[in-house]
Amino acid sequence: MPSPRSSELWRGIISSAIATALSLGVGALLMVAVGVNPLAAYVTMFRGSFESAYTVAEMLIRMTPMLLSALAFVLAFRCGLFNIGAEGQIYMGALVATVVGLYAPQHWPMAAMLPLVAIAGFTGGAAWAGIAGVLKARYRVHEIVTTIMMNYIAIFLVKYMVEGPLQEPSGGFPQTSVIADGAQLPLILPPTPLHAGLLIALAAPIVVWFLLLKTTLGFRIRVVGTNAWAARVAGMSIERTYVLAMTLSGGLAGLAGFVEISGVQHRLLEGFSPGYGFDGIAIGLLARGYVLAVAPAAMLFAILAVGANALQRTYGVPAPLVTLIQGLVILFVVYGDHARTIVHWVWQQTAARSYKVRVIR
Amino acid sequence: MIGALGNSLLWTAFLTAAVRMTIPILMAAVGEGVTERSGILNIALEGMMLVGAFFAVLGARLTGSPWLGLASGTIAAAVVATVHAYFSITVLADQVVCGAALNFVCFGLTGFLNRIIFANSMGPSGLAQFLPVDIPVLSKLPIVGASLFNQTAPCYVALAIVAGLWVFLWKTTWGLNLRAVGEHPLAAETIGIDVVRYRYAATIAGGALAGFGGGFLSLAIVNFFVEEMTNGRGFIALAAVIFGRWNPLGILAASLLFGAADALQLTVKGIGINVPYQFLLMLPYVLTITTLAMFAGHPAVPRGLYQPYHRTR
């Protein structure tokens, strides 16, 4: 993945936009097939996110963990790694954050408590992904397989914790008690439930962008991701870079777990993430690995996710249609690159031919 | 507890469930084994199983025949696999990216169609279903008899497929060619093997088998369709392939282990083992990772796996 030169960047933006339009088009065809006016349906979908301050808040709350886990995917992706395990890292981040939020002295002020809980979340995700990084670096076990497997382990571990050792004392539901007040993210747009996690999610791309493009570590990550052999020749440790990139990537996903617990749930419970980690993969791919493109892509996915429910309520169009559209977006992006090479090739051929013809004449 | 462990009825129930729960994972895994032997990685197994499960139910509902249902599930998943083959082999897209995208597509498609066609998120039940077929004499063996030789007919078909694939891969020229394509596509092409054709065939066949596994799940195990009912089995199958060293017989053993873990959490309370069931659920995944760490870099890994092949122009 090259650094975004402006022509490359514009091409990326345009092809992602075309891919999005095409997949919304396929969605429209399916709506027509079930007898729904697609234009009205899409208007309803987008209005579902922008109708009132409350719905905007709902959309931004959804966007927050999506954005962070997409950054997690992108960071590893730039190092040539596929971190498919953001979902598990979200769970581990949430677990560690909750433990700290439950057992740290309850009277601590927010200024001390909140950073501690955030660091705990980051650490939980980082450690979990770090295992996959070490397995990759030291034992050459492919990170795709380990991160997928570790998703399930993390989800079952959380399930065990909330049904066992960490279950609330009343024992009514598979969930923990509520974390300390100081460990909860403050609301930033009362009376809506929009929480300060959004600020973290908006700052994160800038931090990651700075890390990747302006620091030595970021340079190392990008070199290993672009050409591991060149990195080796230049004396960089590929293994150490893999572990570091995986750890940082997992940390970002862990932060997503933290904002979800600290900002939304205020306690740990099983199944609290509706697949934010997997959304992150799709968003990261739609953003084509560009850090700063992650935020708009995440917003698009959040709008689609919120709109899906509006679509189902108003028109009876099944909400899974949106998942289908999300998958198609990635396929179209991938196909766009191919189509571009074909067009380029054909253009070259015709250009060459006309040149030849001219010479002969 | 000792008494429960000696209870042969419980063991029979456990083994029967274990064999039954093995089949969906096994079919997806042996299919993926063949696909990966050709050098193509398909992480969309989960989605393809789901498509298989849905279209199997739909087909059975429309035709009234579970066999035709199973066939439609198999074919539908093969169609999805063709898309994966096109993107991986012709478009030379990243196989993981394409597989991840197809998982989304399959989740969305089955959910959408299910709610449109069956009008609720819980699919239809009361279908024409597969009934256990009793194999004379063998089924009278103690404990294993009732569990191994009193399964549904597709279960025997599945086991025959595994044996067939082993013979195919190790005892036929086509199998040798396929393995050559996965090890070193350029060398294979040099001696006249059509790499592209082999990879297409292996990917589509792998998808079809995943569809068969999904159809088995919806028609021979639970007899209905629920959204996302495959519940990660497609990903377990990926692990079973590695665990089983890309060899159909090894994959059979690995799938049995995963199937047993699946069945164990269903019967564990009856057997009275005092382990939190969540840890039993984790077991297959932990096992996979530890075995991978111990045996990674093993020569069994097809060397051309996940390497796009550019035919020299």
Residue with tokens 């597509």: B105
Residue B171 scores a pLDDT above 90: yes
* Half-sphere exposure for A332 (CA within 13 Å, toward CB): 23
- Whether the Cβ atoms of residue B17 and residue B159 lie closer than 8 Å to each other: no
Q: What is the pLDDT of residue B313?
A: 43
H or E segment to which residue B259 belongs? helix B248-271
Task: Give the nearest partner residue to B98 out of A34, A153, A334, using CB atoms.
Answer: A334
Report in angstroms the alpha-carbon separations of A201 from A25, A205, B196. Answer: 30, 7, 44
Q: What are the φ and ψ backbone dihedral angles of A195, each rounded to 5 degrees?
A: -115, 170
Are A141 and B296 an interchain contact pair (Cβ–Cβ within 8 Å)?
yes
Token code pair at residue B110: 């089955």
Give the span between the Cα atoms of A169 and A73, in whole angstroms: 37
Average pLDDT over residues B63-67: 89
Nearest-neighbour CA in chain A from B277: distance (Å): 8
Contact residues, chain A, for B29 at CB < 8 Å: none
Expressed in angstroms, the distance from the first to the final Cα of chain A is 44
* Alpha carbons A144 and A135: distance in angstroms, whole number: 11
Chain CA centroid to CA B26, Å: 4
Can you give the length of chain B in residues? 313
Residues 6+ positions from B264 with CB-CB distance below 8 Å: B14, B18, B280
In the block, which residue shows the tokens 């927010």?
Answer: A110
Reference B78, options B124, B45, B29; nearest CA is B45
Q: How far apart are CA A280 and CA A205, in angstroms?
A: 13
Residue A187's DSSP bridge partners are A195
Nearest CB to A338 within list B93, B115, B282: B93
B-chain CB neighbours of A278 within 8 Å are: 104
Radius of gyration of chain A (CA): 22
CA distance B291 to chain A (A): 10
Q: What tens digit of pLDDT does each residue of B202-242 get?
A: 999 999 999 999 999 999 888 888 888 888 899 889 888 98
Instruction: Give the model's pLDDT for residue B228.
Output: 84
Chain A's closest residue to B293, CA to CA, is A139
Asked whether the predicted pLDDT for residue B250 surpasses 60, the reply is yes
Answer whether A160 sits within 8 Å of B279, measured CB to CB: yes
Is residue A153 within 8 angstroms of chain B, CB to CB? Answer: yes
- Can you list the alpha helix ranges (DSSP code H) found in chain A? 6-33, 38-50, 53-78, 86-103, 110-139, 143-163, 197-214, 216-226, 228-233, 238-259, 276-286, 294-315, 320-360
Per-residue DSSP letter, B218: I
Distance CA B251, CA B243 (A): 7
CB contact under 8 A, A318 and B111: yes
> Tokens at residue B74, please?
């198999």
The reply to whether A292 touches chain B by the CB within 8 Å rule is no
* A contacts of B116 (beta carbons < 8 Å): 34, 318
Say if CB B100 and CB A77 are below 8 A apart.
Answer: no
Structure tokens, A249:
């990537």
CB contact under 8 A, A146 and B87: no
DSSP class of residue A179 equals P
Closest-CA distance of chain A to residue B116, Å = 7
Q: How far is B235 from chain A (nearest CA, A)?
A: 7
DSSP states of B173-238: HHHHHHHHHHH-HHHHHHTT--HHHHHHHHHHHHHHHHHHHHHHIIIIISSS-BTTTTTTHHHHHH
| Closest-CA residue to A329 (of A298, A360, A291) | A298
Euclidean distance between CA atoms B248 and B98, whole angstroms: 25
3-state secondary structure of A271: coil
Q: In angstroms, what separates the C-alpha of A100 from chain B's closest C-alpha?
A: 23
pLDDT of residue B1: 42
- Across the interface, whether the CB atoms of A334 and B94 are under 8 A apart is answered yes
Token pair for B235: 């990903």
Amino acid found at B147: S
**Per-residue model confidence as pLDDT tens for chain A (361 residues):** 445 567 777 877 888 889 999 999 999 999 999 889 999 999 988 888 888 899 999 999 999 999 999 999 999 999 999 999 999 999 999 999 999 999 988 888 888 899 999 999 999 999 999 999 999 998 888 898 899 889 999 999 999 999 989 998 887 888 999 999 889 999 998 888 999 999 999 999 999 999 999 999 999 999 999 888 888 888 889 999 999 999 999 999 999 999 999 999 999 998 899 889 999 999 999 998 899 999 999 999 999 999 988 888 888 889 899 999 999 999 999 888 777 777 777 777 766 666 555 555 4
pTM over 0.90: no
A177 exposure class (CB count in 10 Å sphere: 0-12, 13-18, 19+)? middle
Establish if A84 touches chain B: CB-CB under 8 angstroms. Answer: yes
**Range scoring the smallest mean pLDDT among A126-135, A301-310, B131-140, B164-173:** B131-140
A329, two tokens: 């977006």
Chain position carrying tokens 């559209």? A325
Give B141 or B308, the one with higher predicted confidence.
B308
Look-up of token digits 């090894």:
B250
Contact A160 B108 (CB under 8 A): no
What distances in angstroms separate CA B90 from CA A209, A272, B205, B305, one per listed residue?
Answer: 34, 40, 17, 16
Q: What is the dihedral of CA B84, B214, A158, A205, to 10 degrees?
A: 20
Residues 318-337 of A with CB under 8 A from B: 318-328, 330-331, 334-335, 337
Best A144, A313, A315 residue to mutate vs chain B (most B CBs within 10 Å): A144
CA distance B143 to chain A (A): 31
Taking any CB pair shorter than 8 Å as contact, residues of chain B touching chain A are 43, 83, 87, 91-94, 96-98, 100-112, 114-116, 227, 232, 235, 238-239, 242, 276, 278-279, 281-282, 285-286, 288-289, 292-293, 296-297
Instruction: Answer whether residue B271 shows pLDDT above 60.
Output: no
Task: Give residue A97's Cα distance to chain centre.
Answer: 19
What is the distance in angstroms between the Cα of B108 and the nearest Cα belonging to chain A? 4
Contact B93, A323 (CB under 8 A): no
Please enumerate in sequence order all residues whose Cβ is within 8 A of that of A328, keeping only pairs 6 or more positions apart, or say none.
A22, A23, A26, A27, B101, B105
Compute the count of residue pairs across chains A and B with CB atoms less than 8 Å apart: 133
Up-side HSE of residue B255: CA atoms within 13 Å toward CB? 32
Does residue B90 register a pLDDT over 50? yes
> Is the pLDDT reported for residue B169 higher than 90?
yes
> Is the CB of A330 less than 8 angstroms away from the CB of B104?
yes
Note whether A327 contacts B112, CB cutoff 8 Å: no
